[in-house]
Structure 1
Amino acid sequence: MDINKKVEEFEKDIVKSTQEVVSIKSVGEEGKPGKPYGEGVSKALNKALEISEKLGFKTVNMDGYVGYAEYGGGEEYVGVLGHLDVVPEGDNWKYPPYGAEIHDGKIYGRGTTDDKGPIISALYGLKAIKDLKLPLSKKVRIIFGTNEENGSKEMKYYREREKPPVAGFTPDADYPIIYGEKGITIFDVVKDLKVKLRGDITVKYIKGGQRANVVPDYCEAGLSAEDAKALVKNIDEFSRKNGYDINTEVKNNLVTVKVTGMAAHGSTPELGKNAVMQMFALLGSLSLEKSDIMDFINFFNTYVGFETDGKSFGVALEDKESGRLSFNVGTVSMNEDKIAVALNLRYPVTFKYEDMIVPFNKRLEGTGIRIENMENSDPLFFPSDHPLIKSLQKVYSEQTGKEAELLAIGGGTYAKEIPNIVAFGPIFPGEPSTIHNANEYVEIKNLVLNAKIYAHAIYELAK
C-alpha cells in the first residue's frame, strides 16, 4: 500500500483530531506554574500530545513551553514545526469560533488553518509512514509550538535545550515553498529637542501611527500660532495642492492638524499613504524657524519623503531573489523634549544586517539623531539548489502536478525560529486565506491533501 492510500484511511481521524484541538481556546494569556502561556494554550498542547501518544508516538512535554511527538531512531532528526496558539477570535463569526463545526466540507474555527489543522495533517502523515513501516535513516519530530502569535519565545526555550533538526519545514505560510524571508528590523530614531522652535508658529506635539510595521493612516499635530486664521488658510491651500486629506480645528491660538492617510503592511509600504510623512511635508512647507524639531523634519523630508525603498537614505539594497529593501515610517511621537520615529526596514535575503545598518548610520552622522530599541531578525535564505529545497520541490510537483515555484517574501514566518527549515504550505496558490479573519476555516480535502504532501516530504527528508 502506498502513502496516499494509507493517509486516505485516516480522513475521519484527521478531521476528529483537528476538531479536538480547534475546540480549545488557546489564546496566549498570563502564565502560571507549568503553563507559561496560560490555561488554554496548555490544554491545547496536552491534547496534541495525547493524540500523538494514542497514535503510538513517543511524546515529550518541555515544561509547558513546547512539546513534540517523535518517531524513529538515530542522532539526527527531521523537524516539522507548527503552533497551537491562536490570535483572539474577534467578532462577526457565522459559526462558533471554537465550535469546530463542519459546513460544506469545511471545518470552521480559530486555528483551523493557522496552525492546528496543518500540524495535525503532518502528524497523520508521519502516522502513515509509521504504519507502513517505511525505512528511515533519521528520527522525525512533529514539534508543537505555543507562542508563535506573541513572539515565539517558546522556541528560544527549545533551542537552548535541543539541537536543531538537520532539515524540515513549517506549515505556517503558503505553498509552494518560501525559500527566502527578508531581514526585518524595527527600531526608533530619536533626537533631543534642545534648540527650541521660536516665532509666530511653534509645534507643541506630533503623534501618529499604530506600530512600526504598519503604514500610519493618521497623524496629528498641535501648532500654536499668533495668526491661527492665516495658518489654517496655508494648510488648506497645501492640502488642495497636494491632494492630502487634512483637517484643522482651532481653539484659542492652538491649531490641531489632522492628517488621514491609508494603512498598509510594513512589508509593502508602497501600497499605503503615509500620514506621518504627509504631516512632515506640511510642516516643512510652513518655513518655520531653524530649530532641532525642524532640522529633524527637514532631514526626513530630504532623505525619506515618500520613498519606500531607502534610495535617498543610501540603503537601497536589492537582489533578484527578493527585490528591494522596504522602508516604512511607522509612528511618530514628539513632545517638548524629544521626537522619536519608529521605522521598519526589511532588507533583501542575500544581504546582511551590516549591509543595511552601516550606510544607515553614515546618513545619521552629524545630525544628532540616534538609534534606540533596535530589533533585528536576520534573513532566511536557501539557494535554489539546496537539497532541502530540491526535495520539497520534488514532493510538491509530484503530489499536485504543478510547478513548485520558489517564493521570497517581506514578511517573516515560523521558519525563522529554528535552523534548517523553510515554510511549506498549507495554503495553496489561488485559494483564499482566512488566517486571523472571522470565519477562519480549512477544507477537509485540503487537510487530507496536506497530510499526503507532508507524509511524502517527511519521508523524502528522513529516508
Structure 2
Amino acid sequence: MNWHEQTKVYEAALIKDLDKIIRIPSVLEVKSSTPQMPFGVDVVRALTAMEELAMRDGFRFGRVDNMVTWIEYGPKDAAETVGILTHIDVVPAGDGWDSNPFQANVRAGKLYGRGAADMKSDVMTSYYAIKYLKDHAIELKRKVRLIIGTDEENQWRDLPKYFEVEGKPVMGFSPDGTFPVINGEKAFQTIQLRFPSQSSGAFILMRFMAGERSNVVPGEARARLLVPDVKQLELDFKNYLAQYPFLSGEVSTNRQEIRLTLYGRQAHGAYPQDGENAGTYLANFLNQYTFEDDAAAFLELLDTLHTDILAETLGLQYTDSEMGVLTLNVAIMRFNHNGQGQISLGFRYPKGMNLQTVKDQVGQHLGTLHAKLTVQPGGMEPHLVPLTDPLVHVLSLAYASEVGMYAPPRTSNGGSYARLLERGVAFGGQFPDVPVTSHQSNEYVPVENLTRTMAVFVNALISLDKI
C-alpha cells in the first residue's frame, strides 16, 4: 500500500490544526508558574488545545498535573501500550525571523514557525497518525498512546511525573529527531560556573550577556564597557566583523561608554557546528584588550573555548566507534560588574565517557577564573537500544517503505524522551535531506513532509502491533 497517498488527503486539516498550536507561545514561563501550573500558563494552553482536538475526534484523553496530556487509541483494557513520546514546549523565538514565529507561515512549500521542526509538527503528525487508525477502524491488540510533555526544552520534570501516575509504555518512539531510526543518544550534561565579576583598570567590562538556554547556541551577545578610546574600539569592532561574513553587529557610544551587540547564528546545542556562537566571538574580540581582574579571566576562558566544539582545550576530545564524538556548546555567558558571573557549558558525550571525568577536566582548565563548579539537574547519561531489538527492525522497515530504500539505524547527539524507555528510540520526523533548523530563526518544515511523516508513523504503528 502507498501510505503517503492515503495520508495526503489530511494535509489541509493537519496544517490548520498545526497553526493553532504554533500560535500558542508555549515557552517555559517562570513568572506565571504556580503549583497548579508549574511551567506557566502557555504550556497549559497548548495542552488544552490538543485535548480539544482529541475531544473533537472522539479519542480517550487525560492530563497529569498540568504537565502532560495523553491521547489514546486501541483497546481500553489492553495489557500493553506503545508510546509516542512528544513535547509541545518550545524554546524562545529569539530574533532574526522573516515572519511571525508564533504563526504557521507557509511560503515556497515550507511551513515556518517556532516549533515547526522541534517539535509541534511532529506532535501533529503523530496525532494524525492515530487519527488515521481511528478513522479507518484499524484493530490493534495494544493501546497506542500519544504522550505530550511540556518541559523537554528545560529539565524534563514532566514525563517522570507522568510515569509515576500512568506507568511506562512497554516500548515506543519519540519523533524528536531524524529518520531513519536513532537507536542511541549521547549523554547531555550541563556544567555551570559561577564566579565574582570585578573589573578595573583602563578597560572595564560592565556587563556581558549571551545565551538563554543550555541547549541552544547563542545567536546574540551584548557587552557594555568603559574604555579609553571609544572611537578606536568602535573601528576595531567593525573591522573584526568584516573578517566574518556570517557575523553582524551594532555599536552605540556615550562618552567613555560603548555598547556592542554581535549577531552570530543560533542553533541547537546538540549540533554546535551548525551555529556561530555570538558569545565566544564577542569574547574573542574583547580579549585583545587589557582587561583586569575577573573580567580578564572571564574573557580569556571564553576565548580559549571559542570554536572548540570538541573540547580539546579541556582535554576532553573523545570518540566512540559506535556513538561518535564528544561535543561542547558554550551556552550561557554572564558578567555583571561588582556582581556575579556565570558560564554554562553543555556537553554531549558517547558511552565510554563519564560525567566525573568531564567535571574534573573542566575544573582543571579554569585558568585564573575563581569559579564554583556545579552540575545542573536534568542531565542524562548515554542511551542505546540493541540493533537486534525487533522495535528497531520494524521501524527501519516502515521508513524504508516510504523512501524506497533501507537506511541503517544510527546514533545521535540529540536527546529525546525515547531514552526514558528501555525499549525507546528516536524516529523522525526530520527527513535527512532537510537542513536542521531547530532552535534557529526561520525554523521550518517542508509542507510535503508533514503527510510523509504521518504515513511513516501509520505504517510503523500498524507494524509494531504485530511484534
* TM-score normalised by the chain length of structure 2: 0.73
Residues 278 and 121 of structure 1: CA distance in aligned 2, closer, same or farther (over 3 Å):
closer
Instruction: Tell me whether 1:114 sits opposite 2:118 in the alignment.
Output: no
Q: Distance in 2 between matches of 1:276 and 1:109?
A: 25
Q: Distance in 2 between matches of 1:52 and 1:11?
A: 18
Match of 1:340 among 339, 342, 348: 342
Q: Distance in 2 between matches of 1:414 and 1:319?
A: 22
Equivalent residue, structure 2, for 1:175: 179
Residues 84 and 214 of structure 1: CA distance in aligned 2, closer, same or farther (over 3 Å):
closer
Residues 114 and 150 of structure 1: CA distance in aligned 2, closer, same or farther (over 3 Å):
farther
Report the Cα offset of residue 207 of structure 1.
0.9
Q: Distance in 1 between matches of 2:85 and 2:446?
A: 19
Match of 2:165 among 161, 165, 178: 161
Match of 1:77 among 74, 81, 85: 81
Residues 439 and 323 of structure 1: CA distance in aligned 2, closer, same or farther (over 3 Å):
closer
The answer to whether the 8 Å contact 2:112/2:444 transfers is yes
Equivalent residue, structure 2, for 1:429: 432
Residues 132 and 105 of structure 1: CA distance in aligned 2, closer, same or farther (over 3 Å):
farther
Which structure 2 residues correspond to residues 11-410 of structure 1 after superposition, within 5 A? Answer: 12=9, 16=13, 19-20=16-17, 22-23=19-20, 25-28=23-26, 30=32, 37-38=41-42, 40-51=45-56, 53=58, 58-62=60-64, 64=66, 65-72=68-75, 73-83=77-87, 97=103, 114-124=121-131, 126-127=133-134, 131-133=137-139, 136=141, 138-145=142-149, 153-193=157-197, 197-198=200-201, 201-211=202-212, 212=214, 213-225=216-228, 228=229, 232=232, 236=236, 243=243, 251-252=254-255, 254-256=256-258, 258=260, 260=262, 262-265=264-267, 266-281=269-284, 283-287=286-290, 291-301=293-303, 303-320=304-321, 321-328=323-330, 330-348=332-350, 351-364=353-366, 368-372=370-374, 374-383=376-385, 385-387=387-389, 388-410=391-413
Q: Distance in 2 between matches of 1:274 and 1:345?
A: 15
> Which AA in structure 2 matches 1:118?
T
> Which AA in structure 2 matches 1:420?
R
Equivalent residue, structure 1, for 2:461: 458
Tell me the alpha carbon deviations over residues 2-31 of structure 1, each in whole angstroms, 9 at most, x when there is no partner: xx4799667656864764565465443857
The answer to whether the 8 Å contact 2:332/2:342 transfers is no
The answer to whether the 8 Å contact 1:114/1:435 transfers is no
The answer to whether the 8 Å contact 2:187/2:381 transfers is yes
What SS does the aligned partner of 1:119 have?
helix
> Which AA in structure 2 matches 1:462?
D
Residues 379 and 122 of structure 1: CA distance in aligned 2, closer, same or farther (over 3 Å):
farther
Report the Cα offset of residue 79 of structure 1.
0.8
Paired residues, number: 441
Report the Cα offset of residue 461 of structure 1.
2.9
Q: Distance in 1 between matches of 2:241 and 2:4?
A: 63
What SS does the aligned partner of 2:71 have?
strand
Residues 333 and 392 of structure 1: CA distance in aligned 2, closer, same or farther (over 3 Å):
same
> Which piece of structure 1 moves more, 392-401 or 108-117?
108-117
What SS does the aligned partner of 1:363 have?
coil
Tell me the alpha carbon deviations over residues 345-384 of structure 1, each in whole angstroms, 9 at most, x when there is no partner: 3323553333422322343498532125724431453255
Report the Cα offset of residue 142 of structure 1.
2.8
> Which AA in structure 1 matches 2:129?
A
Report the Cα offset of residue 118 of structure 1.
0.9
The answer to whether the 8 Å contact 1:87/1:149 transfers is yes
> Which AA in structure 2 matches 1:393?
S
Residues 311 and 440 of structure 1: CA distance in aligned 2, closer, same or farther (over 3 Å):
closer
* TM-score normalised by the chain length of structure 1: 0.74
The answer to whether the 8 Å contact 2:218/2:332 transfers is yes
What SS does the aligned partner of 2:314 have?
coil
The answer to whether the 8 Å contact 1:121/1:450 transfers is no
> Which AA in structure 2 matches 1:191?
F
Residues 329 and 222 of structure 1: CA distance in aligned 2, closer, same or farther (over 3 Å):
same
Percent identity between matched residues is 21
Q: Distance in 1 between matches of 2:418 and 2:189?
A: 17
Q: Distance in 2 between matches of 1:22 and 1:238?
A: 41
What SS does the aligned partner of 1:118 have?
helix
> Which AA in structure 2 matches 1:179?
N
What SS does the aligned partner of 2:365 have?
helix
What SS does the aligned partner of 1:191 have?
strand
What SS does the aligned partner of 1:404 have?
coil
Q: Distance in 1 between matches of 2:15 and 2:162?
A: 24
What SS does the aligned partner of 1:131 have?
coil
Q: What stretches of structure 2 of length at least 5 have no aligned partner?
A: none
The answer to whether the 8 Å contact 1:77/1:139 transfers is yes
